[in-house]
Each structure stands twice: as structure tokens, then as C-alpha cells.
Homo-oligomer: A and B are copies of this chain.
Amino acid sequence: MNETVSLLQAHRSSRSYKSDPVPDEILDAIIESAHRAPTSANIQEVSLVVVRNATSRARIAEIAGNQPWIAQAPVFITVVMDLYKTGLGVEKAGAEQVAQRSLEGIFFATCDAGIILATLMTAARSFGLGIVPIGGIRRDPQAMIDLLGLPKNTFPLVGVALGYVDHESQQRPRMPIESFRHEEKYHAEALRPAIDAYDLTLQEYWQKVGRKGGLTWSENTAEHCKAFSRMLKPIANKQGFTLEV
């Protein structure tokens, strides 16, 4: 073990923030860390929009489905898949960009966006800040596009609120490791026993923390995956991500 691994293994999302601002030099170091993160083939097709303005944060809190901690925390960073920026480079090289029309373009940009998001969170937590990643901005991506002035061939994939924590949250248990880590090949037979065990573990955890009506993992996953929670294809298409190949 070392300091970094201890920090990673202690991850939790925080949903209660003080209004204290994040000092500029700390925010700079966090963003510089993300800027140095690995990126597919050095393409660097991710951009950040840093929002500190309280009116904009209140609007994002609303867009994300009324998440008050977004308005509370002093900084919100949107992680943008950015094939507009790359398009300028491709044009400068005398060619026409088509990557945005392919699933591969979505794959490399979302994966790099996830790397950037993780790096922001790890760096922020290393300075004692709390974080909460926000996929809820995809409830209304058009509103985010309008708020941030995002051009064609971009998409607001995910965001993160950060600030000094008021009330610290507990760390929720994860599924048994056998459902996550497979050796040499995928071992489907390990899954059902792990799911059954975890459904019980989560029930016990909800009891321990006094949460009534807490769902098992299976029930929670069903809530999120049994219907099309977000029909994003028309907005992605309009932005230029046409998923042709």
C-alpha cells in the first residue's frame, strides 16, 4: 500500500458541501493533472468547461434532476467529448473528419473522457476535496449544450462537482471481487452467487445506515436498465455523432 492507493481505495462520493471556494492554485493543479492523463493516439479529444458562476451551477443542478449539491459545491466541471477541436486540426491538414460519424469515435472519446474524469476526481481528493460525478447532465444534454455554448461535434458526457465537504458520506460496499475480476477468461458461473451475496450485503448495509426502502443491487439495476432512461440518439445525431459505422 501507499498514499495514492489508500486514497483510491477510500473513494466515496460526497453530497454535502461548504460554500468555501477552491483556491485557484489547487484547481489549476487538478486540471493540469487531467490535462496530462493518457489520451488515445495523442488525439486529446476531450475538453473541460469549468463553471463557478452560481447561476449556472443552480441551472446545472436543475438540469441534472434537482441535485442540490451541484448548486452548493463551488466548482462544477463538465467533461466534453470534443471532436470539434480535432476537426479544426484535420481541416488544417487538408482533410475532412469523419470519426464523429462512427461508433469508434464514440468509443475513443468516451473512454478518454472517463480517464479525464477519474483523474480530476483523484487529484481533487488528494487535496482533501470531496467530489461527486454527475451523469445526470445527460437527462437534458441540449440544455447543457445551450448553457455552455458547445459547438457541433461535441457532447457533454459527464460532469463532476467539487468542493470542501460538509457532512462526510459512508463508503458503500461493492459487489464481491469475483464478479469484477476474471482470470484469463470470463467466468460467467461466478456471477449469480456473487449477485445473491451482494443483494444481501446491500440490504444489511441499508439497515445499518437506517435507510428504509433501500433497494438490492438487482432491484436498483432493474430500475436503471429495464427502460430507456435517456433517448440520446437524436441529440447525438444533431451534434454530428451519426453512428453510421
Contacts and interface: CB of A to CB of B under 8 A. Distances in A.
B29 A5 contact: yes
A99 to B, nearest CB: 4
A71 B49 CA distance: 39
Given A88-B195, A98-B228, A107-B110, A184 B51 contact: yes
Contacts of A191: 84-85, 88
Nearest to A192: B88
Given A37-B118, A135-B41, A47 B186 contact: yes
A121 interface: yes
Contact of A84 (B184, B188, B217, B231): B188
A40 to B, nearest CB: 5
A126 B89 contact: no
Interface of A: 1-5, 7-11, 13, 29-38, 40-44, 46-53, 56, 80, 83-90, 92-99, 101-108, 110-119, 121-123, 126-127, 133, 135, 138, 147-151, 154, 157-158, 171-172, 174-175, 177, 179-186, 188, 191-192, 195, 199, 216-222, 224-233, 236, 243-245
The 9 A-B residue pairs with the shortest CB-CB distance in the complex, in nearest-first order: A114-B114, A118-B118, A93-B222, A110-B110, A4-B126, A89-B218, A99-B225, A8-B33, A95-B226
8 contacts: A38-B121, A42-B220, A47-B179, A50-B183, A52-B184, A85-B179, A103-B243, A111-B114
